[in-house]
Amino acid sequence: MLKVFKIADKIFLSSFFILVVLGFFIFLSASFGSLHDMKFFLSLTLKQLISIFLGILVFYFLAYSKKINEKCFRKYSVWIFFITLIIQLLVFFPGLGIEIKGATRWLDLGFLTIQPSEILKLGIVVFAPALVLAFVENFYKNKFFNLLLFLTIFTIPLFLIFFFIKDFGTLTTILFSIFSVILVSKVKFTHTLFSAFLGILFLFILIFFLVPHGKERIENFLGSEEDPLGSSFHTNQSIMTIGSGEILGIGFGKSLQKFDYLPEPLGDSIFAVYAEEKGFLGSVFFLLVFMVFTGRGLYLSYKNKNKYSRLVSVGIISLIVFPVFLNIASVLKLFPLSGLPINFVSKGGSAILISIILVGIFINLNRKIRV
């Protein structure tokens, strides 16, 4: 693993490793709430460890391999995208797709369960930049038509994610990542604004007309004191949990709220559990590390002279960071509840595996950058 330090930016790589290690211990502490079922607790912890281990193996291979570079990713990006899209479609096959809480988002492979939408993120983040560059540089002369064609191509997987898989969080994350790629490409500013307008309009229609709980979450965010024991219970408990940590926190593993008081302590509310145990100072440290990871990642992307590598790098940072800050903003009542995870921290083997692999791709594309 030390060889990776020789080919990667030390600041970015160090912040990444801190997030992975710190994230596991945050998850471990939050999972203590399930200690009453020791079998479930051990299974949960083991799955998270295995996902991290497999992710690090693939990360090391991608980061250090001399045969894999930006030319490979760009050349095979369309195949990577279609393979990940096919994997996503497998949830509709009888016996493979698992329905939980009215949503079919998981694949049951017998020995493990995976969430294909996380894999689809990988396909989109390598294919979208290739498509943007093809349309901007080498395709039709009408740039606006190119943009519409680009957005139309990605409407298909986005349509699948929402209307059939009902994964609004993943949809929002992918939209933000695609917009980030468009923003740093050579697409005209007016066309970029048009893309943003379409994305915001799309989300507005989904939230207020098609997502059953979307409008309710907005209303709770604007006036959560109206129903503190009902639909606003989640956000109110999160704020109470964070506040009880005060400056230094109550100590690792000592959170009381994770024991059946706080909804989703391993997912949506895991930051609240961490804030209760590590307090204001611990929370600030976590945010600072993520800000270093984000800032350094974007800076390396900016310094990369290869157009494709730059766009993929920005897309990767967006995919990883956007859900994190939206999640934290949600539990702090600065944003409506999103249901998005904190990458490297929240429960979800598929999510942490793909997040680590995405960082491996980022290192691969930026290993020649020296700043």
Q: What pLDDT, on a 0 to 100 scale, did the predictor assign at position 348?
A: 76
Matching residue, tokens 């290739």:
130
Structure-block tokens of residue 148: 């519409």
Sheet bearing 103-108, strands edge to edge: 97-100, 103-108, 113-114
Q: What pLDDT, on a 0 to 100 scale, did the predictor assign at position 361?
A: 94
Read off the DSSP letter of residue 245: T
126 in Cβ contact with 73 (< 8 Å): yes
* Nearest CA-CA partner of 19 in 346, 363, 238, 269: 346
Q: What pLDDT, on a 0 to 100 scale, did the predictor assign at position 201?
A: 74
Distances (CA, A) of 331 to 214, 237, 273, 289, 326: 16, 9, 10, 19, 9
Q: What pLDDT, on a 0 to 100 scale, did the predictor assign at position 143?
A: 60
Helix (H, G, I), strand (E, B) or coil at 122: helix
Matching residue, tokens 């294909």:
116
Q: What pLDDT, on a 0 to 100 scale, did the predictor assign at position 238?
A: 77
Contacts of 251 (CB under 8 A, 6+ apart): 277
Contacts of 212 (CB under 8 A, 6+ apart): none
Q: What pLDDT, on a 0 to 100 scale, did the predictor assign at position 178?
A: 84
Structure-block tokens of residue 4: 């990776």
* Nearest CA-CA partner of 320 in 20, 14, 3: 20
Helix (H, G, I), strand (E, B) or coil at 212: coil
For the chain, 371 residues long, the average pLDDT of each consecutive 10-residue run is 70 93 90 76 86 92 85 89 86 72 67 80 89 68 62 71 71 83 76 71 67 61 55 72 82 76 75 87 93 94 91 94 87 74 83 92 86 67
What is the amino acid identity at position 225?
E
Query: Distance (Å, rounded) from C-alpha 309 to C-alpha 342?
Result: 25
